[in-house]
Structure 1
Amino acid sequence: MPDTRGYGEEMGAARGRVLVTDGMQRKALAAVRGLHRAGFEVIVGESTRFAPALFSRRAHAWFVYPPPRESPEAFLRVLEGALRRHRCDVLLPMEEETLLVVLGARERLERWARLPFPDRSLIERLRDKGNLAGLALFAGVPVPRTVSVPAGGDPVQAAAALRFPVVVKPRVSTGAYGLRYVDRPENLAGVWASVHARFPGPLIQERLPAGGEARCVTLFLDPEGVVRGAFAHRRLREYPVTGGAGTWRESLHAPAETAAAVRLLRAAGWWGVAHVEFKRDLRDGRFRLLEVNPRFAGSLHLAIESGVDFASLLVRWSLGEAVEAPGYPEGIQARWLLPGDLLAFLARLRQGRFDLDFFRWGGWRLRFDDWGDGDWFAVVGAALAAGPMVTRHEFRRLLWR
């Protein structure tokens, strides 16, 4: 039997029960708060007790599971026990790696709860940036010119038609992880080989000029391709500063990018929630596709605060409710202050840029990913989680990116 120590007391469910995984992530905390606000009881899990969402006052119960990547079978046993014990209606894996493990055991887990996500094979196709470039061309969505290197081939020859600088990127990665920038052709072979050693078969893509605005579109499509939720935002600040997660974001209406994202996802046969990223090419002013994340995005909190609660929309739809895409206002902002926006501020400071607006804390338009909704216990959880994180090599390396 799974270890159920740490579960909260049972009580009658209101609108239904939802199990949310990956409680360390700020998007999980946002989902917990939004689902609670929508009338659901939320069970939240993570591989450590010291996670913000597990401390949230909006969580009905919590549990600790083995790490999904390192111990998938043990993770599934504990997850299955939690679904059964709490009589959950819907399961929402928040991180991509967790989602893939869960979808690999779909039949087993759907005995206990609904899993409103497409097949694993579709997610893996969208994760592959090589497939994505071809799909974008088919759907008529602008994308930076991208080439792959044949097995045993010469990366310099493969990239002969590209304009430098270029970026060497893993076929499967999240955000800026694993990216390497190359300014001159003579440096390409060595950089490509170093990335290839860790991420086999990386792509070579023309790098868009620095300074172009990044816009992101989150969509919820049903299996018929009907848009059940749509939200767009722009990044006011990001980390790493060369291109990464949005640490300060603002809602906006972006009809052209939203239409392009809808075409792309429909061409892929996608349904569910996905996050599509674009960047303006300063050479011609067009927004070009960078990547698709077939999952909830880290910016979920801004969408919820703007009135588009993708987690609740997906859960309600999976339970048979009729849902329509809600409207939202422009100009709502959200900051991921710790550590995201602090790291961005320090990085820009090292470049000689002092962002005075980092010290702006107020205003009716501004929200914070880290706290809000009177949920101060989650802030305590975030502080406790920070201790183990700063001892990790990966986190300390972030400080100097």
Structure 2
Amino acid sequence: MAHSRPPHDGDRVLLTGAEYTGGLAALRGLHRAGYRTWVATTDPHSYGALSRAAAGVVPILDPRVDPEGFVHGLAAAAARTGATVVLPGTEAGLLALADRRNLFPAGVAVGAPDAVLVADACDKSLLDTHARAAGFEVPPTTHVTLSDLDDGAAVTFPAVVKPLRSEMIRNGRLERIEVARVTGLDALVAALHDLPGQAGLVQPYMYGRIRTVNGLAWEGQVVTTVHKRADRTWPRDCGVVSFATTVARDPALDEAAKTLMANLRWSGLFNIQLIESASGPLLIDLNPRVYHSLALAITAGPNLPAMWADLLLGRTPRVVEYEVGRTFRAEDDVYAVLSAARSRGARSALSGLRPRHGTTHAVLDRHDPRPTRALVGRVVSGLRRKVADRLHR
């Protein structure tokens, strides 16, 4: 299997967001390509901080709490470590860096486009317009406020309620706000009441498999894409991919993805999510950032984070074709399988737990065991807390 370009001995990268699985995948991918990568993290026990792929660990402030301090800390850390590339591993980090790129010296390349472009790509209220202009089909979407419900706005249930942006100010600080499935008016009122401005985007809940177009763009031109289809997500209603397989490119979707990235003038990683409905694939989300199942693309061939670093350094990345049929499993896929077993019958659903040779995991890697040990410790601690809570009821 082909991987990214030859090792970059001496090239140093400062990476944020390795507290999460996507960031861990980016760290491992950069290490595989030969980049010496320092993990900037709020948690010294995070996946990235424990990984063998990290050249070192830099304590950093939370970009949601103190974006200014976060970027100042990164600029100082880049100077100390000699890093010439800074990569955001979360949307909060991307937003903070886009607004403050001027804090870095000219010799440091920052993986965040202009703030206007970032704001545009992250604004979910604009996504329908961008998607249709690119050639995607989208579900019916309505901007709804609590006052609209008072005026008798009609909503078909079950429905999905989305924030206007994934990262929004709530209770005085930036927070990541998740999508919610609602089955009736009371639940819709509660969901809107909890959103900033008491407003959100409402779509009918769609049943179907998730398909994604993932890739890397540079100044609006798509460098490469990797297509995958998800068998399961967790949580089941509005969760992230827990088991997926790379599939052949759909030419129409691939062309639409290229047009979307061109219209957004995007530079960086991207993850376009679609749902396979009876009328065809419908675009439901865009994540212009490091994403949860990034490890699958890297294992299948294109080392997207290393290619991103190459481009930021003014190099031409080596583009390889991805392998169709490679699989990805997140460690919480077990919950998705057990949930399916309760609803569909144990025998057929539990077959999903069968190990598959060559499967890439979100955390598990026999060559990098410490993040897995940390994950197991967290699961055990969580189970102990649940047992203790039940015993004290």
The 3-state SS of whatever aligns with 1:168 is: strand
- Is the 1:176–1:243 Cα contact (8 Å) retained in structure 2? no
1:180 alignment partner in structure 2: 181
Distance (whole Å) between structure 2 residues aligned to residue 262 and residue 108 of structure 1? 31
Instruction: Between 164-173 and 82-91, report the one with greater CA deviation.
Output: 164-173
Instruction: Between 237-246 and 372-381, report the one with greater CA deviation.
Output: 372-381
- The residue type paired with residue 203 of structure 1 is L
Residue from 371, 378, 384 that aligns with 1:378 = 371
Question: Higher strand proportion, which one?
Answer: 2
- Is the 1:219–1:275 Cα contact (8 Å) retained in structure 2? yes
- The residue type paired with residue 179 of structure 1 is A
1:117 alignment partner in structure 2: 112
The 3-state SS of whatever aligns with 1:296 is: coil
Cα displacement (A) at 1:121: 2.6
Distance (whole Å) between structure 1 residues aligned to residue 57 and residue 382 of structure 2? 21
Cα distance 1:111–1:382, how it changes in 2: closer, same or farther (>3 A)?
farther
- The residue type paired with residue 97 of structure 2 is V
Within the alignment, does 1:217 sit opposite 2:209 as a pair? no
With normalisation by structure 1, the TM-score equals 0.83
Cα distance 1:192–1:91, how it changes in 2: closer, same or farther (>3 A)?
same
- Is the 1:50–1:382 Cα contact (8 Å) retained in structure 2? no
Task: Describe how 1:192-211 pairs up with structure 2 within 5 A.
Answer: 192-199=188-195, 200=197, 201-208=199-206, 210=207
- Is the 2:158–2:181 Cα contact (8 Å) retained in structure 1? no
- Is the 1:169–1:180 Cα contact (8 Å) retained in structure 2? no
Cα displacement (A) at 1:29: 1.5
Residue from 161, 164, 167 that aligns with 1:171 = 164
Within the alignment, does 1:97 sit opposite 2:92 as a pair? yes
Cα displacement (A) at 1:309: 1.1
The 3-state SS of whatever aligns with 1:321 is: coil
Task: Describe how 1:61-100 pairs up with structure 2 within 5 A.
Answer: 61-100=56-95
Cα displacement (A) at 1:171: 1.6
- The residue type paired with residue 63 of structure 1 is V
With normalisation by structure 2, the TM-score equals 0.85
1:6 alignment partner in structure 2: none
- Matched positions, count: 367
1:14 alignment partner in structure 2: 9
**Deviations 1:224-244 (Å, cap 9, x if unpaired)?**
x32212111111111111232
1:264 alignment partner in structure 2: 260
Name the Cα RMSD after superposition: 2.7
- The residue type paired with residue 295 of structure 2 is H
The 3-state SS of whatever aligns with 1:29 is: helix
2:343 alignment partner in structure 1: 351
Distance (whole Å) between structure 1 residues aligned to residue 87 and residue 382 of structure 2? 25
Distance (whole Å) between structure 2 residues aligned to residue 346 and residue 375 of structure 1? 27
Cα displacement (A) at 1:163: 5.5
- Is the 1:220–1:314 Cα contact (8 Å) retained in structure 2? yes
Residue from 313, 322, 343 that aligns with 1:328 = 322
Identity of aligned residues (%): 26
- Is the 1:250–1:331 Cα contact (8 Å) retained in structure 2? yes
Instruction: Between 355-364 and 81-90, report the one with greater CA deviation.
Output: 355-364
Cα distance 1:120–1:351, how it changes in 2: closer, same or farther (>3 A)?
farther
Residue from 302, 307, 310 that aligns with 1:308 = 302
**Deviations 1:114-157 (Å, cap 9, x if unpaired)?**
11321233222222222111222222210001111378434775
Cα distance 1:70–1:229, how it changes in 2: closer, same or farther (>3 A)?
same
Cα displacement (A) at 1:278: 0.4
Structure 1 gaps, min length 5: 1-12, 397-401
Cα distance 1:374–1:280, how it changes in 2: closer, same or farther (>3 A)?
same
- Is the 1:251–1:333 Cα contact (8 Å) retained in structure 2? yes
Distance (whole Å) between structure 2 residues aligned to residue 58 and residue 109 of structure 1? 25
Distance (whole Å) between structure 1 residues aligned to residue 165 and residue 383 of structure 2? 26
- The residue type paired with residue 376 of structure 1 is P
Cα displacement (A) at 1:386: 5.1
Within the alignment, does 1:51 sit opposite 2:49 as a pair? no
Within the alignment, does 1:369 sit opposite 2:362 as a pair? yes
- The residue type paired with residue 138 of structure 2 is V
**Deviations 1:67-87 (Å, cap 9, x if unpaired)?**
221233333333222111001
- Is the 2:146–2:189 Cα contact (8 Å) retained in structure 1? no
- Is the 2:161–2:181 Cα contact (8 Å) retained in structure 1? yes
Distance (whole Å) between structure 1 residues aligned to residue 150 and residue 305 of structure 2? 42
Task: Describe how 1:273-284 pairs up with structure 2 within 5 A.
Answer: 273-282=269-278, 284=279
- Is the 1:227–1:325 Cα contact (8 Å) retained in structure 2? no
Distance (whole Å) between structure 1 residues aligned to residue 10 and residue 366 of structure 2? 20
Distance (whole Å) between structure 1 residues aligned to residue 191 and residue 105 of structure 2? 38
Cα distance 1:356–1:392, how it changes in 2: closer, same or farther (>3 A)?
closer
